[in-house]
Amino acid sequence: MALRRGRGYASVNYPTGMNLGGDPSQALVHATTMGAFVVTLSSVDLGQGITTVARQCAAETLGVPVESVIVDTADTDTGPHCMGTFASRGTHRVGNAVIMAANEARAVMLQVAADELETDAEDLETDGTGYIVVKGAAQRRIHVSDVALAAHFAQGRTISGRGIYLKERNYPDPETGEMDPDSCQAHACTVADVVVDDETGVVEVVSLHNTYEVGRTINPGLATQQVEGGAWMGVSHALFESCEPGYPASRDHGPTSFSDYLMPGPADCPTQVSVLLERPAGTGPFGAKGIGEMTANAPIPAIANAIYDAVGVRLTVMPFTPESVLRGLDALREPR
């Protein structure tokens, strides 16, 4: 009896968004009297960081510090339309809508600034620190807060913008079957190292190495946490979670609370190394793709392949329990 080590690989590609009867999201942007910018969305942040990404997209487009941007997720009664937080669509759909709205607001902001500086809007640029300056004459400048004050109290103008990104519904070509069901696809590969106890059947995931091609990484910290948090879920699916073990024949032994619903604890979490690759998508906000859901996928078959590499047992039903490993080992020992 021994501890056996194995390594498994798995790769995945995953679509961004859906091919419903259209897949739109809207955004509104407006300046306050003091020059902050409010982004209004109905998109829900489930912890994946869409509010941070929306702030970054707005700030980059407007040319102002990210600290000057406030994101208000409102609700579905009062906010602009959003199809929802699903299908790994948030960054792609919402980011594009925010950029469109911010561009419209930026055009008004520059025109107000041009009137104050007595120049043409085409001759102005933002410096990213909160000032609008005349190109080639940086000493001629005006702060965004002064522009907002002028817009509200001198010129009677609203610095605002509207944006909507729509992925139109696409139908297959009747001759070839070719179609465009999504906006772009992200790609990933996970390498899993495991240790399998061939006496008890216990599987330990020692490490995961993740490589994700994400288009453009708008926020590397959030993207890395998305990858590694999703990988934790993959380990949980692979080795622990079994919400209805007897379904559909019987539901008698399903867990009734989180106290008896198995998930990995701190001692079960593997070491992770994650690398983000950039290959910008033509349709994405600054080239970004969606990676939300796919991060739980690749670890599962990688762990299954690693178990096979360690002890020769091919498991196809989750979770990969000690019992299933031992049954597989027994089957290998049976005379053929």
Banded model confidence at residue 190, pLDDT cuts 50, 70, 90:
very high
Q: 222 with 53: CB under 8 angstroms?
A: yes
Say if residue 327's pLDDT is above 90: yes
Q: Sign of dihedral through CA atoms 120, 121, 126, 130?
A: positive
What would the pLDDT profile of 115-137 be if each residue is shown by its tens digit? 999 999 999 999 999 999 999 99
- Total count of residues recorded for the chain: 336
3-state secondary structure of 257: coil
In eight-state DSSP terms, residue 307 is H
What would the pLDDT profile of 134-162 be if each residue is shown by its tens digit? 999 989 999 999 999 999 999 999 999 99
Predicted pLDDT of residue 8: 98
Q: Please, what's the largest Cα pairwise distance for the chain?
A: 92
Which uninterrupted H or E stretch holds 37? strand 37-40
Is position 104 annotated as part of the catalytic site?
no
Q: Taking CA 233 as the corner, what is the angle to CA 228 and CA 239, rounded to the nearest 5 degrees?
A: 125
Q: 3 with 42: CB under 8 angstroms?
A: no
Q: Which of 125, 175, 293, 323 is catalytic?
A: 293
Predicted pLDDT of residue 218: 94
Give the pLDDT mean for 80-87: 78
Say if residue 246's pLDDT is above 70: no
Give the pLDDT mean for 189-217: 96
What would the pLDDT profile of 6-53 be if each residue is shown by its tens digit? 999 999 998 887 777 778 899 999 999 999 999 999 888 887 889 999
How much is the mean pLDDT over the chain?
91
Peptide bond before 248: cis, by omega within 30 degrees of 0? yes
Percentage of the chain surpassing pLDDT 70?
Answer: 97
- Is the pTM higher than 0.85? yes
Say if residue 108's pLDDT is above 80: yes
Contacts of residue 239, defined as CB under 8 A and 6 or more positions apart, other chains included, come to 203, 205, 264, 268, 303, 319, 320, 321
